[in-house]
Chain A
Amino acid sequence: MQGKQENVDFSYPAEVEQFRVELRDWLSANLNDELIAARRPSGRDDATFAMLRTWNRNMADAGWAAVSWPREYGGRGATVLEQLVYTEETTRARTPLPLNVIGMNNIAPAIMQYGTESQKLTLLPRMMRADDIWCQGMSEPEAGSDLAALRTRAVRDDDDFVVNGQKIWTSLGHRADWCQLYVRTDPEAPKHTGISCLIVDMTLPGIEVRPLVTLNGDTDFAEIFFHDVRVPADALLGPLNGGWGVATTTLSHERAGAARLYAEMQVRLEELVDDFAAADDGSAHGVLQDPVTLRRLGEIAVRIKYLEVLCQRSISATLHGGSDLAAMGSVSLAKTVWGEIGQDMAALAFDVLGSRARRWADYRLTSRSLTIAGGTTQINKNITAQRVLGLPRT
């Protein structure tokens, strides 16, 4: 039989492994301990931010900043598997995420699809180099999970849109030069069809930014207030009242990025085991002699591996024309699983190491966001129930 010729295969092609080696070599020659230490947003000061900007520029100049982008905008047109390997390697090397990670993953695909040629050529390379910092104005006080209920208004007046309203939970809002802003341009239309997307210069008069302090004392995100802000009409991205379509552009770009979910947890688990080993006094009561701790580690380890394969299945479906619904379902599922793993790991670390291990104590708090940010686990489950399992809407 020909059973072995074409069968399930977890290995990556040689050229992809070659790409991995090139990247690994570059990272080991250029990444230093100071940068690795700066990868956590927690407590990041201005000097650290400036250092990371330089690092982002260096990566961009070496061609390692936005590998999935087309070459004309500064990327390398990397294949899906190369993107996967890129995410694995940068995560495992503890590379700081690009300052514009949200911009590059969520805003750039929309600019590439809907932007003018001049917008693409000016905005994208500067985003990649962190010359400009980008934020995304989506959530509002009355529009969280129900994003389409957003109320920030933009009214056409001559050559401008006049914007009034408020955004909240905006990552990097207090540092941003540009905002991809979702506004209501047709208040009479059904809520999904009256939304537009604007690219807004954050220095325009009438914009006020107030940093928000998170539960662990950090200022990761901000509120943004718009008071009669006059935004030039050519700032419109995509069709007027077609903003919901712009917002969903990013989804198809997230497959390879899902590799970060498992790679991040692999790195965290390694760090946790190292910290447990350091805390283990070698006695019979040592941290790593406790079967309950080992059992909890095992529960985390098995799910990280299965999360990895879940992401690989999604990639494989993309590459080889498997069921698209299943692929979409696995990405949403992967995010839920990732959040659960992170929170279980944080709980285990805190239960064993207590408050003295500051980093883990901090993670015990910040890991709450894993099941909230970017769509709560509950909303995710609703979507999976209805779109993948075919259960009826309420």
Chain B
Amino acid sequence: MNLELTEEQVALRDTARRFLAEKAPISGHVRALLDDETGTTDAVWRGLADLGTTGLLVPVECGGAGMTMVEAGIVAEELGAALHPGPWLSTAVAAPRTLTRIGADAAAASILTGIADGTTTATVGPLDDASIPAVDGGVLRGEIALPDAAAADVLLVFADGGGGTELFAVKSDSPGVSVTPERGIDQTRKHFRVAFDDVAAQPLAAPPAGAIAAVVDDVLIATAADALGAARAVMELAIEYAKVRAQFGQAIGSFQAIQHLCVDMYETVELARSGVIHALWAADNADAEERHLSALRAKAFAGRLATVGDTAIQVFGGIGFTWEHDAHLYLKRLLSWSALLGGPDRYLTELGRTLTKPKKKGCSA
């Protein structure tokens, strides 16, 4: 039982935090890329790779750090706190976890090496419930939802290869690939519809049973860490504001009404942090049932987490309602997490249903 970060993990967190504050701040970087489809610049991506953050989950044999989801979560939290708009979750979490979970590390060694050294960006899909495209005669046909598709060099696509689901690699600049932005509520997240019109696709491997579900869990868990970072950051901004904003001759943070709003945010953030720590651990250490439950819980809690954005705007008052203030960007980040792959009601209901099923353990019948 040890839930403390190691010295190395604290150093990783601090390094990522410092880099983002200096090289990818909200004012100069994030806001400039709100309408940019890639959400990143070569310089910033190179910087993230040089810090080792793109290769955290890449196996050591492929030039990565071979670390765990805990380290990935530490970086994801900082990226969320900085509202980072680049393709990090897709490239540094979804892609390597997909390739390692389905045992394609050898076939896709060059992709993994490129991710670790920062020369390759990638994305994975479809991860929603939609039907998958098909590969026939070596070419891919169909249309799917795919995050970060405009930035990605490699598209990793689950498709029906004729004998069941397989993972295929597609170069994003191949003829027949068309990428259409899907504008959501959150301009710091880049979502797309990608159509494949007879596109050359390289088969990598057929996922073993449960592997795709595990990848979806990984992505949800890492995104929960990102959302935690966003919630924490906007809460801290609101609390700092409450300490300096004076009305009626005193700091508004001295009023109980404001104090209780701040504690409500803190309670929600600390509960979310508890869930995220557990889920990051479960992603690598728990059995499939517990891992999936931890991902379900994180999604089920997303609606409550988004209230931190709402409450922060309430504490800021009028200034929090303006475009120039960053509060709305945080609220939107939290709302897009809440809406990702289905809203919280669906996950809360599903979580409730898991309680009503007979327990696996302790049942001798």
Chain A interfacial positions (CB closer than 8 Å to B): 1, 3-4, 6-13, 81, 269, 273, 276-277, 288, 291, 293-299, 301-303, 305-310, 312-313, 315-317, 319-322, 329-330, 333, 336-337, 378, 381-382, 384-386, 388-394
Contacts and interface: CB of A to CB of B under 8 A. Distances in A.
B93 to A, nearest CB: 15
Interface of B: 1-6, 9, 60, 65-68, 70-71, 239, 242-243, 250-251, 253-256, 258-260, 262-263, 266-267, 270-272, 274-275, 277-278, 280-281, 285, 297, 300-301, 345, 347-356
Given A315-B1, A392-B253, 20 more contacts: A3-B67, A9-B3, A10-B278, A294-B349, A294-B353, A297-B351, A298-B347, A298-B355, A302-B300, A305-B275, A306-B301, A308-B274, A312-B3, A333-B266, A385-B253, A391-B239, A391-B243, A391-B251, A391-B258, A394-B256
The interface centre, meaning the residue of A1, A7, A308, A317 with most chain B CB atoms within 10 A of its CB, is A7
A309 B270 CA distance: 10
A353 B315 CA distance: 39
A9 B271 contact: no
A316 B300 contact: no
B267 A10 contact: no
A296 B352 CA distance: 7
A391 B9 CA distance: 29
Residues of A contacting B: mostly = helix
A31 B337 CA distance: 47
**Complex A-B, nearest 3 residue pairs according to Cβ-Cβ distance, in ascending order:** A294-B352, A385-B259, A298-B351
Given A269-B355, A310-B271, A389-B262, A394 B349 contact: no
Residues of B contacting A: mostly = helix
Nearest to A313: B3
Contacts of B4: 316-317, 320-322
A1 B60 contact: yes
Contact of B271 (A337, A386, A388): A337
A53 B12 CA distance: 55
B66 A393 contact: no
B281 A9 contact: yes
A288 B352 CA distance: 9
Nearest to A272: B355
A306 B271 contact: yes
B271 A3 contact: no
18 contacts: A3-B66, A3-B67, A7-B70, A8-B280, A8-B281, A10-B278, A273-B355, A298-B348, A298-B351, A302-B275, A309-B3, A312-B1, A317-B4, A320-B4, A337-B267, A378-B256, A391-B251, A393-B254
B277 A8 contact: yes
A306 B266 contact: no
Contacts of B349: 291, 294-295, 298
Contact of B255 (A273, A297, A330, A394): A394
Contacts of B275: 302, 305-306, 309
B78 to A, nearest CB: 17
A9 B2 contact: yes
A367 to B, nearest CB: 19
A391 B2 contact: no
B301 A1 contact: no
B68 A4 contact: yes
A394 B352 CA distance: 42
A56 to B, nearest CB: 29
Nearest to A276: B356
A394 B252 CA distance: 9
Contacts of B350: 298
B68 A306 contact: no
Nearest to B52: A1
B356 A381 contact: no
B68 A3 contact: yes
B119 to A, nearest CB: 21
A315 B71 CA distance: 22
Contacts of A307: 271, 274
A388 B266 contact: yes
B80 to A, nearest CB: 18
B267 A298 contact: no
A305 B266 contact: no
Contact of A302 (B5, B260, B263, B351): B351
A316 B2 contact: yes
The interface centre, meaning the residue of B60, B347, B355 with most chain A CB atoms within 10 A of its CB, is B355
B359 to A, nearest CB: 9
Contacts of B243: 390-392
B2 A306 contact: no
The interface centre, meaning the residue of A277, A303, A336 with most chain B CB atoms within 10 A of its CB, is A303
A187 B239 CA distance: 38
A276 B353 CA distance: 12
B239 A9 contact: no
Nearest to B235: A389
B256 A382 contact: yes
Contacts of B250: 392, 394
A321 B68 CA distance: 23
The interface centre, meaning the residue of B4, B71, B285 with most chain A CB atoms within 10 A of its CB, is B4
Contacts of B270: 310, 329-330, 333
Contacts of A81: 1
Contacts of A298: 300, 347-353, 355
Contacts of A333: 266-267, 270
